[in-house]
Chains A and B, each alone.
Chain A
Amino acid sequence: MPTTYLEAIREGLWEEMERDPDVFLIGEDIGVYGGAFKVTAGFIEHFGARRVVDTPISESGIVGAAIGAGLMGLRPVAEMQFADFISCGFDQIVNFAAKCRYRWNAAVPMVVRAPSGGGIHGGPFHSQNPEMWFVKTPGLKVICPATAYDAKGLIKSAVRDNDPVIFFEHKALYRRIKEDLPAEEFTVPIGKARVARQGRDLSIITYGAMVWVALEAAETLAAEGIEVEVIDLRTLLPLDRDTVCESVKKTAKVLLLHEDTRTAGMAGELAITITETVFEHLDAPIVRVTAPDTPVPFSPPLEEAFLPNAAKVIEKARWLHRY
């Protein structure tokens, strides 16, 4: 039976809590209610209130407590109800957690789970992709899985990691993406990208929900004789530069794609990385498809206009192929 992206995260957390008694969950409404998206439904009944800690609406307090418990050797997994609310815990993450090791060689083995992304008509404060706030912060790791397999394997790796990890779960993928997962236990390494589709003509480098948009576009383009390679970054920090550059060497043309807004998005970092490393292999300017530099609108036609989609990618890819 196929497993959804949401169920995959849930299974990963469950297995890690069974494996290691130091792992515990902390967040708003994660106990009896099971969290806003039901990722932790059933956990409190099985693991008890000592390991599934419901909190007040206090993001700074939640992250702070997770940091302290992590410094004491526990392995907290803090849930932000929506990634947008992480701003209330921002100082604790970027000033405190990210710099503990550098200041004191002290481990903060904490995961902050952050349901992010648009396409659910959530409006400006329930739809953002705030990953770049954290990619700019040395000391953090930032993960954005696209598949159920990666969501499970990466949440397990995140729990075991000895550095603070921000784990972005794309809300639009929660119940839309399903796949058969191996029966045996597995993890996915942090910091390794994945070739989601092989191709020779151009590379689309992307992550999160946009992996599926890239694959949809690649299908259409294949029918036109354009073979697209799709790179799914999976982890944004640390960035897997090798996989990115290998793909560029192979295809010589690059389209960068993200759902995050345009200015200072991941595309900028990827473009300079490629330019610094494999410029001689490029046969065309690097191009990007992103959301525009606006907040995320609520109204369905506006949100549809805001989000990148296959049609926008196809149009840009055709231009790039002709170049």
Chain B
Amino acid sequence: MPAYPAPDLVRLYRALRLIRRSEEEIARIYPTDKIKSPVHLSIGQEAVSVGVCDALRADDFVSPTYRCHAAYLAKGGDLKAMFAELYGKASGCARGRGGSMHMIGLDHNIIGASAVVGTTVPVALGYALALKREGKGRVVALFLGDGATEEGVFYESLNFASLHRLPALFVCENNFYAIHAPLAKRWATARLCERVATFGIPAHMIPQSDVLEIRSKAAECLEAIRAGAGPAFLECHTYRWREHVGPGEDYDFGYRNRDELRPWQDKDAVSTLGASLDPGERARVDAAVEAEIAAAIEAAEQAEWPDTRELHNYVYAD
């Protein structure tokens, strides 16, 4: 494990903390019904987005899943535009037309997220195809969940990416559940990396969700991808602490048990990395994050609704 100088750890912590606290605020506000969009929260899964996106260059692309808040924020997406989108306001990043599952931030090379599982995977490869033609060494980090690996298009995409040596880093956030169905009821075998490797794609499993390990492995893969080696695949084990959709917990739904959660909470990136920082430094980061979130929420609450006369706009170019 490479040693990280203090500024990097602070940067990583800040990103983790911003995502965690933004989503906790979403959950807090949610019962007021001010946030109209269904929300799929990443609480517990932040380390994957932060570790990968921290290794990306600013001019690289990220393609999030529908559980997109973490990757959107980790790549530098505008917090105010995200909250405004959740509120359905005109200043949202999709002008209130998309909601939580359709965040986009083209000024930070955040490809639009989309709600149908797996659909963004081939689209991200289209970006990679264009980046390969461009020849500037830029890469797409494309996120998918364990559920998306069950879609046929995932295998089409692995084959296509490897065949054309596309500059793509596949990042599978394996949180062990597709909606409420556990892996054991969905996968004939758990050997995902082996399946991927048969396409000639180097595949690495990161079981402990250690943000530094994720960052380091992503950086190593990105270096090879930029050099023309073709795609790489990371399977990052992680755990969704909240319910599949909505602000609450769901350990009483009958499909999983709170005992599963505890080991993940023990190694939680936000608290462990935070504890390793100088307390004064941490307090400064925490305060700045709180202020930024409060400003974003305030802006979203004050923002205008979309004008209903705009209903017919943006269907076609003209």
Contact = CB atoms under 8 A, between A and B. Distances in A.
B104 interface: yes
Interface residues on A, range: 35 or more
Nearest to A107: B317
A123 to B, nearest CB: 24
A19 B117 CA distance: 38
Interface in A40-74: 50, 53, 55-56, 58, 60-74
B121 interface: yes
Contacts of A163: 316-317
Interface in B140-191: 152-153, 156-157, 159-160, 163-164
A163 B106 CA distance: 18
Contact of B128 (A68, A101, A138): A68
Interface string A16-59: 00000000000000000000000000000000001001011010
A197 B159 CA distance: 50
Contact of A61 (B111, B128, B157, B315): B157
Interface in B92-142: 94-95, 97-98, 102, 104, 106, 111-112, 114, 116, 119, 121-131, 133
Interface residues on B, range: 35 or more
B45 to A, nearest CB: 24
B315 A138 contact: yes
A68 B163 contact: no
A138 B126 CA distance: 23
A97 to B, nearest CB: 9
A102 B98 CA distance: 9
B253 interface: no
Nearest to A60: B153
A89 to B, nearest CB: 9
Interface of B: 94-95, 97-98, 102, 104, 106, 111-112, 114, 116, 119, 121-131, 133, 152-153, 156-157, 159-160, 163-164, 314-317
Interface of A: 50, 53, 55-56, 58, 60-74, 76, 91-92, 95-96, 100-107, 138-139, 141, 161-163, 238
- Pick the 4 closest A-B CB pairs, nearest first: A68-B126, A64-B122, A58-B156, A61-B156
Given A68-B128, A72-B130, A101-B317, 4 more contacts: A56-B163, A71-B123, A96-B114, A107-B317
